[in-house]
Structure 1
Amino acid sequence: MKTNIAWCFLFGIMVCPSVLHSQNDSIATVRGTISTNDLSLSLTHEHIMSNYGVSMDSTAFYDEKALFEQVVPYLKSLRQQGVRSVFDCTTAYFGRRVDLLEEISKRTDIHIIANTGFYGSANDRYIPQLAYEQPVEEIAQIWTNEFEEGIDGTKIKPGFIKLAFDSGSPSTIDLKLVEAGILTHLETGLTMAIHTGENRDAAQKTLSLLNKHQVSPSAWVWVHANKQEDNEMLFEMARLGTWISLDGVNPSNYKDYVDRLQKFKNDGLLKKVLLSHDGNGFPAGGAIRSFDAITQFLIPELKTEGFTENEIEQLTIENPKKAFTPVIRRSE
């Protein structure tokens, strides 16, 4: 349906309001499809486990006994604190093992949402050679096939697309993967969580590619947006529809996040903010990099500072549900 549209410009790029298509209320988890209403309190950027730092040909191998002994009790403790869903951001070639995630989910009764996509940060060390050799459309088809048929020979399907930029001027391969992610979104409705960090140029290029394919910025989660110090820029991106993911909450910095959330609140933009830790339950077999500061410290501090229960639920329940509901988000 055509409507009168107020055009908005940022970085000289024309961006249109979003028009949603194929709306549904379900999302794939490693134990099957659930209603997005069942996600409840969600952590949208964590790693149940990963093998960051090891060579790409070794990332899929874990000491499974040690993994379960460390991760299962920890996730059970998170569930006791109210966490019901974790979006796992460990990609293919970076340590993704959906069979292990399924078993962990069964043992902990935590919904775990796996991803499709390739990780373009870390100086491109976890990008497979096929991504350089195949055209954008064929890469997108790989990811679409995972959505339609399952990951690595399983019936487990991804609930979002994970991509990443390095710092500095975006590389050709990073831009290629983001464009493949956009094409995948147009086939599947999966939201793209893109590690963008402080990289203003990467944000500009992402907007440009979204505009090229007439996809709304609401299909994009700006991961590690907390590293971008320019609040006004983030506010403008949020007004366009981009989801602003403030990751990295920990016991030593949670009050800084409260201060920043107050600024988003004052601008009426809490509705576009996601919160997480970028924690890791089993980082290359090492000690847990915790992801409980939101429940243990941030939420109590938000209450102390006058945030209402509705505002806290918006940040931790409603926003993740809206951000990650699979729906094709067109700009028209």
Structure 2
Amino acid sequence: MNNSNLFWVFILALWPWASCFSQQETIETVRGPIEVSALGFSLTHEHVMSNFGKPQGSTSVYDEESLFKQVLPYLKRLKSLGVDAIFDCTTAYFGRRIDLLKKISEQTDINIITNTGFYGGANDKYIPQLAYRKQAAEIAEIWINEFENGIEGTSVRPGFIKLAFDSGTPSEIDLKLFEAGVLTHLKTGLTLAVHTGENIEAAKSEMHLLEKNNVHPSAWVWVHANKVTEDKPLLDAAKKGVWISLDGVNETNYKNYAQRIQNFKKKQLLNQLLLSHDGNGFPAGGTIRSFDAIVKFLIPELIALGFTPKEIDLLTKENPQKAFLPSIKLIRDKN
């Protein structure tokens, strides 16, 4: 074999390794993929707009003129306050509109990350009938297709999976949707952000289904965990790798949130916290439910309590990047 042939044998042998090193860690936004490190200051649970409360058949219909008139100036102001990215948690069947999100993102220069999944809260009001007929694997194929081929015929792909549980004993449909979400994660690496709130029984069921499928707890965000009144269940979950989302911050309760965040700091678990407001820029056409209290009130309060700039960046930049970076998270050792 001559030197030229040896050269190409060497290159081909290295090619799989070279491909690994060249891959970028990206996340999908409504304007296309970006490096996850470019997310910047992120709000991980907001609604740019939604028609939550309206009948399922009308949730995707908006007064677009009024919507843009209200939302665009507000998001531009958020951008001026330092917000770089918003994870939009309005799902299909209760108001997700990819075309409108893309226009809003383009005109405000805020990266908006949309979702796949179905919302199982609100007494199942926004679950499509097809979900009852199909098996979990068939539902997962719908969501996987959105990730692989784009949502509703567009090039926009979801950046996470949004699901929800009602209060009380988890229902058959909520469990089936969560199972579908786990199957979607195993194919796409998308993180599951699941409205769980104070429902400890649902949280235990979610943990069980993750373990059953060999999925690490860090694939799951406990959404609305702030509704759990005691910190211990949240601290215990965080120790296992669960992302704890304290996402109800407003200008009247931020001091309580600061205290809870301090409790996580004392246990060296700041690296498992996500912060947001569950705000809404256009709630069924109504006035804004604001999502600026973290910047205006909570962060100054944390600084006054001795939190360092590095810790603030951890909570608002680094944690969202790690939580939502698409990667299949498996339990490596069950023993």
TM tier, smaller: over 0.9
Number of equivalenced pairs: 310
**Aligned-partner Cα distance in 1 for 2:225–2:111:** 25
What is the letter of the counterpart of residue 197 of structure 1?
A: G
Correspondences of 1:1-332 after superposition (within 5 Å): 25-332=25-332
What is the letter of the counterpart of residue 223 of structure 2?
A: V
Instruction: Return closer, same or farther for 1:24/1:213 CA change in 2, 3 Å cut-off.
Output: farther
**Aligned-partner Cα distance in 1 for 2:295–2:308:** 15
Structure number having the greater helix percentage? 2
**Aligned-partner Cα distance in 2 for 1:90–1:26:** 22
SS at match of 2:92: coil
CA contact (8 A) 1:24 1:326 kept: no
**Aligned-partner Cα distance in 1 for 2:151–2:179:** 21
- The offset of 1:24, in angstroms, is 5.2
**Aligned-partner Cα distance in 2 for 1:85–1:77:** 13
- The offset of 1:214, in angstroms, is 0.2
- The offset of 1:233, in angstroms, is 1.3
**2:8 equivalent in structure 1:** none
- The offset of 1:180, in angstroms, is 0.2
- The offset of 1:225, in angstroms, is 0.4
**Aligned-partner Cα distance in 1 for 2:259–2:230:** 14
- The offset of 1:274, in angstroms, is 0.1
State the identity as a percent.
Answer: 64
- The offset of 1:230, in angstroms, is 2.2
**Aligned-partner Cα distance in 1 for 2:24–2:192:** 17
CA contact (8 A) 1:24 1:325 kept: no
What is the letter of the counterpart of residue 157 of structure 1?
A: R
**Aligned-partner Cα distance in 2 for 1:265–1:25:** 28
CA contact (8 A) 1:116 1:158 kept: yes
**Aligned-partner Cα distance in 2 for 1:212–1:313:** 34
Structure 2 unmatched runs, 5+: 1-22
What is the letter of the counterpart of residue 286 of structure 2?
A: G
CA contact (8 A) 1:30 1:157 kept: yes
- The offset of 1:229, in angstroms, is 1.6
SS at match of 1:74: helix
> What is the Cα-based RMSD across aligned positions, in Å?
0.7
**Aligned-partner Cα distance in 2 for 1:302–1:237:** 23
**Aligned-partner Cα distance in 1 for 2:228–2:177:** 22
**Aligned-partner Cα distance in 1 for 2:289–2:220:** 26
Structure number having the greater strand percentage? 1
- Flag as ranges the 4+ runs of structure 1 deviating above 4 A: none
What is the letter of the counterpart of residue 186 of structure 2?
A: L
**1:8 equivalent in structure 2:** none
**Aligned-partner Cα distance in 2 for 1:98–1:222:** 25
SS at match of 1:27: strand
**Aligned-partner Cα distance in 1 for 2:212–2:258:** 36
CA contact (8 A) 1:24 1:327 kept: no
What is the letter of the counterpart of residue 212 of structure 2?
A: K
**Aligned-partner Cα distance in 2 for 1:98–1:270:** 33
Structure 1 unmatched runs, 5+: 1-22
Larger radius of gyration: 2
**Aligned-partner Cα distance in 1 for 2:154–2:198:** 36
What is the letter of the counterpart of residue 200 of structure 1?
A: I
**Aligned-partner Cα distance in 2 for 1:331–1:87:** 26
TM (normalized to structure 1)?
A: 0.93
**Aligned-partner Cα distance in 1 for 2:24–2:297:** 34
What is the letter of the counterpart of residue 323 of structure 2?
A: A
Residues 186-223 of structure 1, C-alpha deviation per residue, up to 9 Å, x if partnerless?
00000000000000000000011001100000000000
